[in-house]
A and B are shown apart, each in its own frame.
Chain A
Amino acid sequence: MAHAHGFGHNSPGGLLRYPEKPPFPLKEYSAHYDHIFEMMEELEAKGEILIHRITEEHQPVEVFTRTGRIKLIPTNKLWHHKSCGQCGNIPGYPASIFWFMNKFGLDYLNEPHQTSCTAWNYHGSGTSNPVALAAVWLRNMHQAWKTGYYPLIHCGTSFGSYKETREQLIMNKELRDAVKPILRKLGRLVDIGDGKERIVIPQEVVHYSEWVHAMRYKIKELYEKEGKAKGIDVSNVRVAIHNACHTYKMIADDYPYDPEVFNGQRPAASTAVVKALGAQVVDYSTWFDCCGFGFRHILTEREFTRSFAIQRKLKVIYEEVKADLIVTHDTGCTTTFEKNQWIGKAHGMYYPVAVMSDVMFAALACGAHPFKVVQLYWNCSDYERLLEKMGISNWRELRKEWEDTVKYIAELEKAGKYDELMEFFKEYDLYEPYSRTSTGKPKASATANMPLFKS
């Protein structure tokens, strides 16, 4: 077995570790990417970077990457780096992540001092450059480090782009030299008392789907305890998995693989949690294809996006394996699949199948409210039949409950009854906005002087 370091290898600083034996059959090539972890240790020793380390307080779980490397997934004390596509277009996606965080009693920060990664814009329009992408990433990572919480990245494109940016930064001094003056201006370099200005780089770039993967047995326990008590049963649900390109095709050597998932020959996240819950993972011939999102395409080349999504994915999943559900783990794929079904009716190509992310499906299985938490009202796919099949037969009442809440809030706001509204939210919110940020409530947002309310 040709391998960069050999199994059982530990780097001097402990950042690069392999198990004693390969955990599953590996491709015979040297994983040059893994070497960046040793380079990170060297750069830290030279005072160029400061590694934001995963420690015991993060309650890390070990997983394997495609090369057999041991990757640490922090599960606690997390700084949530949110996804603009999820918050803007699939609100039940991050809400389900936070719901699990609360259920497990985990410590986390959800704060406004963060921007998007801006990589969707770059891949869609080319209107940026590697220095800007690196500066945005490092600014956000420094903010996480400053708070003492470890960054958990919600978006697959952010995750892919950040993995690539980190590799570029470690491998290229010219990029580090270009980005440092900008970070200096922002006050985002760290001097630990030796006069050297360090860039903060996290030990591992971690996607939320890796967190779900690491937590899958705890999620299973919650399902057994609370989901089943509500009459929910997922054992008959047929699930087709769609892995997101930017999680496992970008910097392919840094994403979990597991001997229990296709013997380590396909990405493990999402598939493993669906299996742990006892649902039926169904294989289909075009599993490797992308969704058709295309970044620019979903907005400006929509014929391409829907043609690809329908012909290469939805039709295949519907006809080959008759899945009840497509489980995703990224923003663009979820949107592409659930928004591009209805239009198929125009061409006699309507293949109705429910679509949601792994964490949304897991939250439903564990008894989360389908509308208040999982926010399925926003979903344009055929999710109602899935709810019935899962045993959530009271979904109509739950939907009515949600709609009444929305109506009540709308009426109070329309009447300018802000005090009553705030009182309502005191009892209603599962997470009070700004109550646990690094600096408290900010004075203003990028779009308004007073966030959320006018008074």
Chain B
Amino acid sequence: MDGHPYGYNLPISEKTKAVPWEEKVRIVEEVKSDFRFKEYIFGCLNCGVCTASCPSNRFFDYSPREIVQRFLEEDVEVLYDMMHEYIWACSQCFTCWIRCPFVNNPGGLVAIMREVAVRNAFEATKDLLKPYGRVLLKVMTTGNQLSADMLQPDFFPDWGPKMADNMENLRAKRLAIPFDVGKSVKTAWEVSLETAIEMYTIWRETGIFEMLEKLDPNLYNVIMDIVEENEERYEELYEEEE
């Protein structure tokens, strides 16, 4: 029987079955060794209030109760399998957290699992995050996650015809805002170069660039080109000041 006897009703994938047991244990232990883990999981009554109020549960085969239960039962096989696609259904709304009588935080557990999945460059993660590349490019290079020029109507036909009107004369519309908000179309606001340089230091020191390199080498190269160009610009400006 492929399904789990205690409720996880998805078959364990062949890929997961083929992975050596020690590797699956290593991955799950990496999740459990995160300092947040002990703050996110306590006991579980199996009451299911988290799943009953979970938005993702209404449309996906996803249950926050399962996340908590599998950790409490130390079900390495299922946890490892969940870390490929299952966890990416979570909406990160944390309704589960506020509802749980034990103050468990299944959404927080999912955040750790996702982080470990990205750090270990799981294939499913690479595929799932491909369409998300534009956000990663923007945030890693400018410090802003979103800008007006990312909202082209071609990407959002389901948002209706008003979107196309919005993009007409976009730059002039932004300049016509009588406050310094959204005046740039390439960033949400004009992030100063020195601030962006500080952020690159944070990415370097915390291993985020390395994560990116494993996740998407092409995107990583594009990002590093921009980062290095900005660092050169900063040095030139700094030298001028000297």
Contact = CB atoms under 8 A, between A and B. Distances in A.
Interface of A: 82-89, 91, 94-95, 98-99, 110, 112-116, 118, 120-132, 135-136, 139, 143, 160, 168, 171-172, 174-175, 181-182, 185-186, 245-246, 248-250, 252, 288-290, 292-297, 299-300, 302, 304, 306-308, 312, 339-343, 372-373, 375, 377-380, 402, 405-407, 409-410, 413, 421, 425, 428-431, 433-434, 442-449, 451-452
A346 to B, nearest CB: 9
B91 A446 contact: no
Contacts of A429: 178-179
Contacts of A448: 184, 186
B118 interface: yes
Given A126-B111, A406-B172, A446-B230, A87 B95 contact: no
5 interchain residue pairs of minimum CB distance: A342-B160, A126-B114, A115-B143, A410-B172, A84-B188
Given A299-B131, A444-B233, A128 B208 contact: yes
Most chain A C-beta atoms within 10 Å of own C-beta, residue among B111, B171, B175, B179:
B179
Given A114-B195, A446-B143, A124 B117 contact: no
A413 B174 CA distance: 13
Contact of A431 (B92, B98, B166, B179): B179
B5 to A, nearest CB: 29
Contacts of B36: 130, 168
Given A82-B181, A342-B161, 18 more contacts: A82-B189, A87-B182, A88-B182, A88-B188, A122-B111, A127-B129, A128-B115, A132-B202, A174-B35, A246-B93, A293-B91, A296-B88, A302-B158, A380-B163, A409-B172, A429-B179, A443-B237, A445-B196
25 contacts: A84-B187, A85-B146, A88-B146, A89-B146, A91-B177, A95-B181, A114-B191, A126-B118, A128-B211, A130-B36, A171-B39, A248-B98, A249-B97, A252-B98, A289-B53, A289-B55, A293-B93, A294-B55, A297-B91, A306-B158, A312-B58, A340-B159, A379-B162, A402-B176, A444-B233
B20 interface: no
Contact of A135 (B128, B174, B188, B206): B206
Contacts of B172: 406-407, 409-410, 413
B184 A447 contact: yes
Interface of B: 35-36, 39, 53, 55-56, 58-60, 88, 91-95, 97-98, 111, 114-115, 117-118, 125, 128-129, 131-132, 135-136, 139, 141-148, 150-151, 156, 158-163, 165-166, 169, 171-184, 186-196, 198-199, 201-203, 205-208, 211-212, 215, 230, 233-234, 237
Nearest to A121: B139
Given A128-B115, A452-B175, A308 B144 contact: no
Contacts of B145: 84-85, 116, 118, 120-121
A249 B98 contact: yes
B95 A245 contact: yes
A444 B241 CA distance: 13
A444 B192 contact: yes
A87 B182 CA distance: 5
Contact of A445 (B56, B94, B181, B192): B192
B91 A295 contact: yes
Contacts of B234: 444
Contacts, number: 313
B159 A118 contact: no
Contact of A343 (B93, B142, B158, B201): B158
B188 A110 contact: no
Nearest to A294: B91
A377 B166 contact: yes
A449 B233 contact: yes
A127 B135 CA distance: 11
B187 A447 contact: yes
Nearest to A443: B237
Contact of B205 (A185, A341, A410, A413): A185
Nearest to B175: A409
Contacts of A94: 179, 181-182
A241 B195 CA distance: 36
Nearest to B54: A290
A123 B36 CA distance: 15
Given A126-B117, A308-B59, A342-B159, A443 B179 contact: no
Contact of A249 (B93, B139, B171): B93
A84 B181 CA distance: 9
A88 B184 CA distance: 9
B206 A446 contact: no
B166 A343 contact: no
Contacts of B187: 84, 88, 445-447
Nearest to A341: B160
A334 to B, nearest CB: 13
B196 A410 contact: no
